[in-house]
Structure 1
Amino acid sequence: MLYNAYELQRTMLSGAAAWASVGAEMLTNPALPMGYFGLGPVMASALDVFAHATAPRGKPDFDIETVEVAGKDHAITESIVLHRPFGNLLRFERDDLPADAPRLLVVAPMSGHYATLLRGTVARMLESSVVYLTDWADAKMVPQSAGRFDLDDYIDYLIDFLDHIGPGAHVLAVCQPSVPAYAAAAVMGKHKHPCRPATLTMMGGPIDTREAPTSVNDVAMNQPLSWFEHNVVATVPLTYPGAGRRVYPGFLQLAGFMAMNLGNHMMSHYGMFKHLVEGDGESAAATKAFYDEYRAVCDMTADFYLQTVEHVFQKHSLPKGEFVHRGEVIDLGAIRDTALLAVEGEKDDISGIGQTRAALHLAPNLPETKKKYYLAESVGHYGIFNGSKWRTRIAPVLEDWMREHGAKPAKSAKSAAAKSA
């Protein structure tokens, strides 16, 4: 009944949002004098904020048409290069990138938001790299005939994507996927897979949540797994292609994140209201753009969600050496040549300081020269992969790391013959 109740509420609020939007447009119409004085601007602004807060949202577009490099705009091509039921592999490429530019797989979180949340991450890395991105599907839109999707499948998808990209690629895992990406690198290392990543960068990831636990970790630890299964897992209604599938709804994830910083979100909307009253449309638009993305949520399969809660946050299976993939225990010691970069934010309230850095200590057979830690001062969780500090301080560290540990150019047959002569 949980999902059905939400759908009923969403339908009712959609109608209210539409009427509020109409009212705001009428009150701001230049032909109506009341929009210029008295309570007119206040009423219009209040209706606008309400309409924006309650309007339904679908999957946003990436809309990365150009990137600026050295003062010049470069056109971007976006394409789907591999299609899978639970997620596509996208490729973004700028028009005049050098032939030997690094190839970077950005692994987006499957945590209730669409991969478009990493739009800023992708745009920045397009300045120097061909960027591939995991575009995870909304579980309620995947028919049950497609089967289940759990942590094992997630790891298999990453290996499949890297196999498609080819040898020498780099991987950037943002937040939650740090764990399965780390596991995938170990699996590929164990089998000496030719397409194992040259580098793996983990940013704000819960590798070992026993280090500096946050309120997010506490929630997962304070309840048994059965509580999550009975209280936050729901069945997709008949109105969606995935009808009957058990999921962790995106609207519950969003409610949890909003509740964590409710005061800040309320002040943001109050600030947007004041900007509208003052006629500062540009500032109000910036807040609207953020929440358009933030409120666009999707569902994840119950199998994946419950396994993540159990193995990442409750049992700490990976750092304990107990994480199993397809019946085999994952050996992090198998990572011998994939260079690891761990990035954390000083003010991250989701993944505490030390949780990602733990990855460097868990790879005993990797030379220290292939390990690096970077703490971004005065940066929160979102700022690790988006915003000015990501663009100017963190991304250059990643680019240098990829450059340092990227594939060396192959010698030509002619030069090799000359050397042997």
Structure 2
Amino acid sequence: MLYMGYQFQDDVIAPVRMMARNMRLGGTPWGQMLNGAAQYFDASMEMVSRFHLSHSRPDFGIHKVKVGNFDATVTEEVALSLPFGQMLHFRKDIETPQPPVLVVAPLSGHFATLLRGTVEVLLRDHDVYITDWANARDVPLSAGSFGVEDYVEYLIKFLEHIGPGSNILAVCQPCVQALAAVAVMSEDNNPATPVSMTLMAGPIDVRESPTMVNDLANEKPMDWFETNVIARVPSRYPGAGRKVYPGFVQLYSFMAMNMERHQDQHKKLFGHLSKGEFREAQKIKDFYDEYFAVLDLSAEFYLETIERIFQKAELATGEFTYRGRKVKPSAIRRTALLTVEGGRDDICALGQTTAAHELCSSLRPHLKRHHLQANVGHYGVFNGRRWENEIYPQVKNLILAME
């Protein structure tokens, strides 16, 4: 009923959005002359027309990147396609080989394009791949289930496809799966084991400085989550009947944590639109176009993440298993480790990612590095000025050192 209720509401509001879109004056021949009450009306109609969520991945929109003094053309290709996700490759038209990097995007209700800024910066000096997770409501039941260990298996397959000499960079939630994948590959002496691993603001050990996110995951028993936030996909979608954790539920949960900020931003957006300040308005619209693009998670992955990562901290306690065997981070001996944390991160607090260093007990000191970026929150760890100017050089240097 949860998904059906959301879908019914969206269907009811859709004609209102369409009417508001058609009533806007901005696209008319006299649209450029709008002022006063007319501009206010146009801004109101645009705000109404934007009242919706998208369930499709936006475009990365990365077509060129500066490589040295050369503007390289970037072509987005599917390197490997699997039922619940694909690996994208941002191929550049350059002759000089660059170190390959697999960016592991979170599977937490948003699409991989949330890391567009991360990819754009990495592309200057690296051959970049990224995990592009599917919207579970679009995956037929015949594809089977997808849980935490399936995620680990996908990472191993992606790394094997790239081949020896790769590097892995995980952002937020999948730091656990990335560390597990590298541990399994190391123990198996897999030739495709990455030469470096960067873990950025991830919940390796949520027992360290618990945040509101950790508290929310622990204050309810597992049957509460299954009963209250898991829904079946409606019949109109390819994944009809599949149990999912809907992306709109995750979005509303995130927004509730900072509702005043989101309300202020929309007030600013309306103000810019009503005054004709379209450049300022576009910055806010671009952010929310991305933020309001959501995907559904398979129920198995969501529930296992809550239980195994946030409630039991299995990797940190040595209880994490992969296909029936214990995962041993101590098996990692040759993959250099860099952990990155933000001083103001209220989602993944200080110490949660650094815990990886203790788990990777066999790594020699010169293969371990940690970077604490003061005065940045969660998003600022992998996007924005601090990421580009202060954090990225740490990542670049680690990868360069392992070449």
Q: TM-score range by the shorter chain?
A: over 0.9
- Percent pairwise identity: 46
Q: Which segments of 5 or more consecutive residues in structure 2 lack a partner in the other structure?
A: none
Output the CA distance in 2 between the equivalents of 1:288 and 1:165. Answer: 36
Deviation at 1:380, TM superposition (A): 1.1
**Which residue number in structure 2 is paired with residue 418 of structure 1?**
none
Deviation at 1:72, TM superposition (A): 4.1
Output the CA distance in 2 between the equivalents of 1:131 and 1:27. Answer: 40
Paired residues for 1:27-38 under 5 Å: 29=28, 31=30, 35-37=34-36
Return the letter of the residue paired with 1:85.
P
Instruction: Please give the per-residue CA displacement for 1:135-179, whole angstroms capped at 9, x wherever unaligned.
Output: 111100000001111111111110111111001100000100000
Output the CA distance in 2 between the equivalents of 1:28 and 1:35. Answer: 11
Output the CA distance in 1 between the equivalents of 2:136 and 2:26. Answer: 40
Output the CA distance in 1 between the equivalents of 2:324 and 2:248. Answer: 33
Deviation at 1:123, TM superposition (A): 1.1
Instruction: Please give the per-residue CA displacement for 1:298-341, whole angstroms capped at 9, x wherever unaligned.
Output: 00101111000001100011000000110001111101111110
Output the CA distance in 1 between the equivalents of 2:257 and 2:11. Answer: 26
Is the Cα contact below 8 Å between 1:141 and 1:240 reproduced in 2?
yes
Output the CA distance in 2 between the equivalents of 1:210 and 1:263. Answer: 28
Output the CA distance in 2 between the equivalents of 1:106 and 1:342. Answer: 14
Return the letter of the residue paired with 1:396.
P
Deviation at 1:77, TM superposition (A): 1.4
Cα distance, 1:188–1:32 mapped onto 2, change above 3 Å: closer
**Which residue number in structure 1 is paired with residue 18 of structure 2?**
18
Paired residues for 1:180-191 under 5 Å: 180-191=177-188
Deviation at 1:26, TM superposition (A): 2.3
Matched, 1:60 2:58: yes
**Which residue number in structure 1 is paired with residue 266 of structure 2?**
269
Is the Cα contact below 8 Å between 2:233 and 2:242 reproduced in 1?
yes
Paired residues for 1:163-182 under 5 Å: 163-182=160-179
Paired residues for 1:22-171 under 5 Å: 22-23=22-23, 25-26=24-25, 29=28, 31=30, 35-37=34-36, 39-54=37-52, 56=54, 58-70=56-68, 72-96=70-94, 98-99=96-97, 101-171=98-168
Return the letter of the residue paired with 1:304.
F
Deviation at 1:56, TM superposition (A): 4.3
Is the Cα contact below 8 Å between 1:340 and 1:372 reproduced in 2?
yes
Return the letter of the residue paired with 1:36.
N
Is the Cα contact below 8 Å between 1:27 and 1:40 reproduced in 2?
no
Aligned residue for 2:317, secondary structure, equals coil
Deviation at 1:363, TM superposition (A): 1.0
Instruction: Please give the per-residue CA displacement for 1:37-94, whole angstroms capped at 9, x wherever unaligned.
Output: 3x22222212212222336452211111011244542210111111100111111122
Aligned residue for 1:238, secondary structure, equals coil
Output the CA distance in 2 between the equivalents of 1:230 and 1:311. Answer: 18
**Which residue number in structure 2 is paired with residue 282 of structure 1?**
279
- Higher-Rg member (1/2): 1
Aligned residue for 1:212, secondary structure, equals coil
Is the Cα contact below 8 Å between 1:14 and 1:56 reproduced in 2?
no
Instruction: Please give the per-residue CA displacement for 1:364-396, whole angstroms capped at 9, x wherever unaligned.
Output: 111111111101111111111111221111111
TM-score normalised by the chain length of structure 2: 0.97
Output the CA distance in 2 between the equivalents of 1:356 and 1:105. Answer: 19
Paired residues for 1:177-326 under 5 Å: 177-326=174-323
Aligned residue for 1:258, secondary structure, equals helix
Cα distance, 1:363–1:57 mapped onto 2, change above 3 Å: closer
Output the CA distance in 2 between the equivalents of 1:29 and 1:193. Answer: 62
Is the Cα contact below 8 Å between 2:208 and 2:351 reproduced in 1?
yes
Matched, 1:394 2:398: no
Deviation at 1:349, TM superposition (A): 1.1
Cα distance, 1:53–1:387 mapped onto 2, change above 3 Å: farther
Is the Cα contact below 8 Å between 2:53 and 2:293 reproduced in 1?
no
Aligned residue for 2:316, secondary structure, equals coil
Output the CA distance in 2 between the equivalents of 1:170 and 1:63. Answer: 24
Instruction: Please give the per-residue CA displacement for 1:6-28, whole angstroms capped at 9, x wherever unaligned.
Output: 001111222222212222x2267
Return the letter of the residue paired with 1:302.
A
Is the Cα contact below 8 Å between 2:102 and 2:166 reproduced in 1?
yes
Q: Which segments of 5 or more consecutive residues in structure 1 lack a partner in the other structure?
A: 407-421
Is the Cα contact below 8 Å between 1:140 and 1:245 reproduced in 2?
yes
Is the Cα contact below 8 Å between 1:106 and 1:134 reproduced in 2?
yes
Output the CA distance in 2 between the equivalents of 1:140 and 1:267. Answer: 32
Return the letter of the residue paired with 1:277.
S
Aligned residue for 1:91, secondary structure, equals strand
Output the CA distance in 2 between the equivalents of 1:360 and 1:327. Answer: 24
Matched, 1:358 2:355: yes
Cα distance, 1:280–1:34 mapped onto 2, change above 3 Å: closer
Aligned residue for 1:53, secondary structure, equals coil
